[in-house]
Amino acid sequence: MTTVTVKSVHNARYNEDNTISADVQFSDDGMSLPYTASAGDTTDYGRQLYADLVAGKYGTVTPFTVTPDMLTTARQAKHT
């Protein structure tokens, strides 16, 4: 089993499906990568990252917000 270390997490935000997307630095190379974690993630480190984010280990996770575009799309779908 490979051990993955999370060095830093920025811009964590909930998605519509209750997953959390964030910019995550997994190693010492300095690069942050977009990552979406969930409670049912396929990797151990993804599930751990999700639990840590929910627990506030990396700060507050921005709540999901419905955008005007989402409302428009939903209304259009309702009337088709």
pTM of the predicted model as reported, rounded to 2 decimal places: 0.81
Strands 8-14 and 33-37: unpaired
> How far out from the chain centre does Cα 42 lie?
14
Residue 60: how many other CB atoms lie within 10 Å = 9
User: Would you give per-residue pLDDT tens digits along the chain (80 residues)?
Assistant: 667 899 999 999 999 999 999 999 998 778 999 999 999 999 999 999 999 999 999 999 999 998 888 888 888 888 77
- Spell out the domain ranges in the chain: 8-78
